[in-house]
C-alpha cells in the first residue's frame, strides 16, 4: 500500500463537469474567463446540470422553477429566530437549515431522476433565502421575499438589504457567483460525492458539503482574509504584518492552492472587481492593501492568491457582513455540488479507500480494574 498525504495528485473519479488543466479552468468545456465575462449565473447552473448552455425557453423555465421554489418553511424561520444569534456561526446555521429542509420534503428519499431534479431546484432556490433570512433575523429584521422579475444575483442582494441593488453591484455579484460555481474535485465537492455514493439523499450530500466548505483551509478562508485586512488596516502596515506572519510560520489566508501552482485563473477577475468597487465606495485602501500583499506573498513565498483573496474586498465593498462571505460561497457552489451529486448517482460506486495502519499491534485486553 502507498499513502499520499491529503490525497495530493490522486485521481479519484472521472467527471465531465469542470476541469483544471495547466491552470486553465473550464466548466463543461467553456473557459471560465469567457463565462465570467458573459454568462448569467442561471445559465451556469443550467450548463453545470445539463452539460450545455440553455436556449431562451430553457433558461426561462429554470428561472421560473427557481423563483417558484425560493420560499423556505416557516419552521426554519422560527428555528432561526430561536437562536441566541450573536454566538451562531452563519455556516452552522445554513448547514442546519439545509438539513432541516429535508424534513419538509416528502420526496427527500425518492431517488428517481425527476425527484432528484426537483430537489436540485429546491436546494439551489432556497439557499439564498436561507442565508439572507438568517442575516436579517439576526439584525432584528423580518426576511424579505424574493421578487420574481429579478435575476438570481439581484434577488440575493435584494433579499439581504430589502432594496433593489444598483447595476454595478448586480454585475459584480453575478460574476462572483459564476466564478465560484464549480471546481473539479475540491474538498466540499468530494465530500458531497462520498456522502451520496452510499446512495444517501441529496440533502445529506449538500449538508455534508457545507460542513466541508466551512473550514478555513477551504471556503472559510474568504471571511478570514477580510479579518486579516481589517487587522492590518493600512497599506503601511502590510509589510510589517507579513514579516511577522512569515517569521511565525503563519498561513496567509487567500494564498496558495493544492492544484494551481502558477495562479488561480479566477483571481484576476476578482482583483479587477475589487479595483472597480473599492474606487466606487471610496475605500480603495482595501484594494491597495490587497495588491501590496499579493506582491510580497507571491515574490517571497511563491504563493499566488486564490479565489478567496480578492472576493473578500469585493463582498466587503458590496456592504456584505464578513461572516456571510462563506455562506455566499455555498449559495454559488451548491450548483456544482448538485451537478456532481447527479453525476455520482448516474454512475455510482461506493467510495471507500483504505488506510495504512500505523497504530499498536498484538495488544491483549486488560480488565478495567487491572489498568
Ligand atoms: C476555495 C478554496 O478552497 S481556495 C483555498 C483557500 N484556503 C486558503 O486560502 C488558506 C491558506 N492556504 C492554504 O492553507 C494552502 O495553500 C491550501 C490549503 C489552500 C493548499 O494546501 P496544500 O496543497 O495542502 O499545501 P500545504 O498546506 O501542505 O503547504 C505547502 C507549503 O506551503 C506553505 N503554504 C501553503 N499555503 C500557504 C499560505 N497561504 N501561507 C503561508 N504558507 C503557505 C505551507 O506552510 C507549506 O510549507 P512547508 O512545506 O514549509 O511546511
Ligand atoms: O479546488 C480546491 O481545492 C479549492 C478551490 O479552489 C475551490 O473549491 O474553488
Q: Write out pLDDT tens, residues 93-151.
A: 999 999 999 999 999 999 999 999 999 999 999 999 999 999 999 999 999 999 999 99
Provide the strand spans (E) within the chain. Answer: 18-21, 24-27, 30-31
CA angle 85, 322, 264 (to 5 degrees): 140
What are the start and end residues of each CATH 1.10.230.10 domain in the chain?
221-317
pLDDT of residue 345: 98
Which ligand lies nearest the alpha carbon of 221? 1
Note if 308 is an active site residue: yes
Task: Kindly state which CATH superfamily the domain 13-216+324-346 is placed in.
Answer: Citrate Synthase, domain 1 (1.10.580.10)
Q: Which three cell numbers stand for residue 9?
A: 495528485
pTM of the entire predicted model: 0.98
Residue ID of nearest Cα to ligand 2 atom 4? 186
Residue 107 exposed, middle or buried by CB count within 10 Å (0-12, 13-18, 19+): middle
Considering only the C-alpha atoms of the chain, give the largest distance between any 2 of them, rounded to a whole number of Å: 75
Classify burial at 246, counting beta carbons within 10 Å of its beta carbon; exposed 0-12, middle 13-18, buried 19 or more: middle
Q: Distance, CA 5 to ligand 1 centroid (Å)? A: 13
Write the pLDDT tens digit of every residue in 226-241: 999 999 999 999 999 9
Pairing of strands 18-21, 24-27: antiparallel
Beta partners for residue 19, in sequence order: 26
Q: Is 316 a catalytic residue?
A: no
The residues facing 327 across adjacent strands are none
Q: From the CA of 23, how far away is ligand 2's center (Å)?
A: 12
Ligand 2 atom nearest the C-alpha of 258 is 3
Between CA 228 and CA 238 the distance in angstroms is 10
| Strand, coil or helix: 187 | helix
> What atom of ligand 2 comes closest to residue 264's alpha carbon?
6
DSSP state of 19: E
Residue 84 DSSP one-character state: -
Residue 366 confidence (pLDDT) above 70: yes
Task: Say if residues 294 and 244 touch (Cβ distance below 8 Å).
Answer: no
Cα 32 to Cα 36: distance, rounded to the nearest angstrom: 6
State in Å: Cα 62 to ligand 1 middle.
38
Catalytic residue, chosen from 257, 269, 316, 340, is 257
- How wide is the angle at C-alpha 299 spanned by C-alphas 297 and 302, nearest 5°? 75
Instruction: Give Cβ neighbours of residue 141 (< 8 Å, ≥ 6 apart).
Output: 162
- 8 Å CB contact between 27 and 48: yes
H and E: helices and strands count for the chain: 16, 3
* In the chain, ranges of CATH 1.10.580.10 domains: 13-216+324-346
Checking if the pLDDT of 1 tops 80, the result is: no
- What pLDDT, in 10s, does the model give residues 71-107? 999 999 999 999 976 789 999 999 999 999 999 999 9
159 is written with which cell numbers?
A: 433579499
Query: CA–CA distance from 327 to each of 48, 320, 361 (Å)?
Result: 20, 11, 44
CATH number of 221-317: 1.10.230.10
Does ipTM come in above 0.95?
Answer: yes
| Protein residue whose Cα sits closest to atom 25 of ligand 1 | 258
| Ligand 1: lining residues by beta carbon, under 6 Å | 6, 217-219, 221, 251-258, 301, 303, 306-308
CA angle 228, 231, 232 (to 5 degrees): 85
Among protein residues, the one whose CA lies closest to atom 11 of ligand 1 = 253
Q: What is the mean pLDDT of residues 254-271?
A: 97
Amino acid at each position: 500500500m502507498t499513502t499520499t498525504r491529503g490525497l495530493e495528485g490522486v485521481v479519484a473519479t472521472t467527471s465531465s463537469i469542470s476541469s483544471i488543466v495547466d491552470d486553465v479552468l473550464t466548466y463543461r468545456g467553456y473557459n471560465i474567463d469567457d463565462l465570467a465575462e458573459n454568462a448569467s449565473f442561471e445559465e451556469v447552473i443550467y450548463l453545470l446540470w445539463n452539460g450545455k448552455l440553455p436556449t431562451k425557453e430553457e433558461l426561462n423555465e429554470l428561472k421560473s422553477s427557481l423563483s417558484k421554489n425560493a420560499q423556505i418553511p416557516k419552521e426554519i424561520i422560527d428555528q432561526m429566530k430561536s437562536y441566541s444569534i450573536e454566538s451562531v456561526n452563519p455556516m452552522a446555521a445554513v448547514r442546519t437549515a439545509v438539513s432541516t429542509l429535508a424534513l419538509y420534503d416528502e420526496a427527500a428519499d425518492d431517488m428517481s431522476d425527476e425527484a432528484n431534479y426537483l430537489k436540485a431546484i429546491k436546494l439551489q432556490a432556497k439557499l439564498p433565502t436561507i442565508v439572507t433570512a438568517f442575516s436579517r433575523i439576526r439584525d432584528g429584521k423580518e426576511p424579505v421575499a424574493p421578487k420574481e422579475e429579478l435575476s438570481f444575483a439581484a434577488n440575493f442582494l435584494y433579499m439581504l438589504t430589502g432594496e433593489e441593488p444598483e447595476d454595478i453591484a448586480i454585475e459584480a455579484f453575478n460574476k462572483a457567483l459564476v466564478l465560484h460555481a464549480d471546481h473539479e474535485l475540491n474538498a466540499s465537492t468530494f465530500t458531497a460525492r462520498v456522502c451520496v455514493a452510499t446512495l444517501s439523499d441529496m440533502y445529506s450530500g449538500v449538508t455534508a458539503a457545507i460542513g466541508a466548505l466551512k473550514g478555513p483551509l477551504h471556503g472559510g478562508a474568504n471571511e478570514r482574509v477580510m479579518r486579516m485586512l481589517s487587522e492590518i488596516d493600512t497599506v503601511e502596515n502590510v509589510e510589517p504584518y507579513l514579516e511577522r506572519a512569515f517569521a511565525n510560520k503563519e498561513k496567509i489566508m487567500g494564498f496558495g492552492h493544492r492544484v494551481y501552482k502558477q495562479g488561480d485563473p479566477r483571481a484576476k477577475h476578482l482583483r479587477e472587481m475589487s479595483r472597480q468597487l473599492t474606487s466606487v465606495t471610496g475605500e480603495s485602501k482595501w484594494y491597495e492593501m490587497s495588491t501590496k500583499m499579493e506582491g510580497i506573498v507571491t515574490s517571497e513565498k511563491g504563493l499566488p492568491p486564490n479565489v478567496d483573496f480578492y472576493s473578500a474586498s469585493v463582498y466587503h465593498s458590496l456592504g456584505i457582513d464578513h461572516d456571510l462571505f462563506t455562506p455566499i460561497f455555498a449559495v454559488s457552489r451548491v450548483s456544482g455540488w448538485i451537478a456532481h451529486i447527479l453525476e455520482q448517482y448516474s454512475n455510482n460506486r461506493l467510495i471507500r479507500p483504505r488506510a495504512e495502519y500505523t497504530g499498536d499491534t498484538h495488544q491483549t485486553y486488560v480488565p478495567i480494574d487491572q489498568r
